[in-house]
A and B are shown apart, each in its own frame.
Chain A
Amino acid sequence: MSTLPVSHSKAAEAFLADKPYVSWHDETLWFVRSKRDKAARSVPEWETLRELASAVKAHTLSRLDEYLVQFESNAKKNGIHVHWANDAAEHNSIITEILRSHNVQKVVKSKSMLTEECGLNPYLAERGISVIDTDLGEYIVQLRNEHPSHIVLPAIHLKKEAVSDTFHEHLHTEKNNNDPVYLTRSARTVLRNHFITADAAITGVNFAVAETGGFVICTNEGNADMGAHASKLHIACMGFEKIIPRAEDLGIFLRLLARSATGQPVTTYSSHFHRPAPGQELHLVLVNNGRARQLGRPEFRNSLKCIRCAACFNTCPVYRRSGGHSYHNAVAGPIGAILAPNLDMKNNADLPFASTLCGSCTNVCPVKINIHEQLWSWRQVLMKEGYGGKAKEAAMKTMAAVLSKPGLFVRTANTARKLMRAVPWLFNNKLNPWYRQREMPSAPAQSFKTWYKKNRNEQQG
């Protein structure tokens, strides 16, 4: 995202122009959210797991430096080369150095939002190293010269017709064959060839375990494993907040991650890397890029607990109706709106205003991050720093447009209504422009729609 970002409100307006498309996007994500609900309900100890996950992360943050040192020393004993990068530029140059020293021409990459955050792909391309994104969704957006619009479902903004056109153009698949199985198999064939001919693999990391000095990668497609095991060189990149203390902590996080993300009981592959394969070299890059600064902000440090499940995206009425690209940040959605101002306060000042503060994100977050409260806190900080004014005004307009359309917002509104009764100040406040736009009535005990349904049923019954 090298060019100056278009504001969230402008981008959202453009997104909203195509009404059937917006409804489709809204419903597709709501479908994912519903799957998450079903999966969560099937685990009786779900709330205990969320408490545990949040507590493990809180503990880790309170001893983060010690766990990183412990991890580094164990990883080195395992034969992993450990690198430290203070910012995106250093991350990119470390990786380039490693690739150059191995004369790498072609790299296969599995999903890593960190490399997206650091702009690694264009950086390597400028230096003559070609990068193939191998997660199907990422591969699709890469062919289209776009960015992922969602951290778990990178191509969620695209209809299958668009994917078919893209594949027809680049992979010469049959024109207008929109069958997802056909399209997936076509990509499989092309990408298999890349896997077996690439010189190196770059992957992200989901969890790194301090006590054993290894790391875990979770995928459904098997692309991280195909890449990592087929290459003589594997470079894994992680933000340092991915560290957890013990192997047994993985039990908590793996039970929560996939269920929160897509409603699956677990991802197909949870791959634990500890030592390079015979004849292979394994590198790990630990990245700061503003995370230590965020750790020092008491009201925002909990954002570092995030395990990138995207449940908060799928449930967010604003995300669903404005699309990931409108957030002009590698990580979109509610959590992206908290992370982005830490990276660049001025250019991302609009994002914390792209929310109704309905609290749905906080309710679904598997590590219990107080997302909507942090969005609210960012607004105060941004106003104080003098970045809020224009952002707020623009957001006010968009929110009205995004949310005035009838749609699935009504489901989230039920949550909002409950919250309004509990904390009315959150809504009737000048830092929540959407609610400021109209004087907020006191929350009705039931919405008209609920009332109507109930009454109609009573009449019919």
Chain B
Amino acid sequence: MSSRDEILSMIRENRPAFSPLPEIPVFIHEKPLAEWFTETLTGIGGKVVHLKDTGEVETRIQQQHGGVINTTDLSAAAKYRHATAQELEAVDTVIVPGIIAVAENAAVWVNEKDMINRLLPFICRQLIIIVQLTDLVPDMHSAYKKIRIDEAGFGVFIAGPSKTADIEQSLVIGAHGPLAMEVWFVGE
């Protein structure tokens, strides 16, 4: 018998009596979402910027220093689709669009289609995610209702810059991923 069949038959033999799968209720939150998100992201080392419209976004993108890869401009960013880690290692800033932002934990959902290359949001020194203010939801349950996790081959919730506290529990912002992270909300 293959290991697969052996494992499955052991499980079948040993599994407990049926126990029902619960429904997940809707939780009601009173906090205003934008303030809640900002408080959370600031608390974990990130920064929130509010921009009125795409014009303001454009201006702000122009102000970024160093090597910038902006995947909201698909035609310009397409050339990085197959770039390797060696080629991308020196990039300073990556700008990607986010699909949903979650107030309770400041996580933003980004999927592969929008990041062009899976490495980009991780290998840069600074990450900027642009989200429509209308795509802000209170909690993870509402976020999972709005996304399809297998829509692209890869998707990720990102909350703040990379960090570690592995040395004596001292928080250090900037571990292997970005050293800084901003969320730009667009809209009023």
Contact = CB atoms under 8 A, between A and B. Distances in A.
Given A68-B11, A159-B168, A252-B24, A136 B175 contact: yes
B61 to A, nearest CB: 23
Contacts of B140: 250-251, 254-255, 266
B76 interface: no
B129 to A, nearest CB: 13
A265 B153 CA distance: 26
A221 B122 CA distance: 10
A459 B167 CA distance: 43
A288 B18 CA distance: 21
Given A31-B169, A86-B7, A221-B163, A185 B174 contact: yes
Bin chain A's interface residue count.
Answer: 35 or more
B91 to A, nearest CB: 13
Interface of A: 28, 31-32, 43, 45, 48, 51-52, 55-56, 58-59, 61-65, 68-69, 78, 84-86, 90, 134-137, 140, 153-156, 158-160, 163, 180-181, 183-185, 188, 191-192, 195-196, 209, 212-214, 220-223, 225-226, 228-230, 240, 245, 247-252, 254-255, 258, 262, 264-279, 286, 288, 292-293, 295-296, 298, 301
Given A221-B177, A251-B140, A265-B104, A90 B8 contact: no
Interface string B157-174: 111111111111110101
Contact of A240 (B6, B7, B145, B162): B7
Contacts of A301: 14, 16
B154 A273 contact: yes
Interface residues of B, number: 74
Contact of B175 (A58, A62, A184, A254): A184
Contacts of B159: 265-269
B11 A64 contact: yes
A86 B3 contact: yes
A278 B118 CA distance: 10
Interface of B: 2-4, 6-8, 10-22, 24-25, 27, 40, 43-44, 81-82, 84-86, 89, 104-107, 112, 118-119, 122-123, 139-141, 143-145, 148-150, 152-170, 172, 174-178
A212 B149 contact: yes
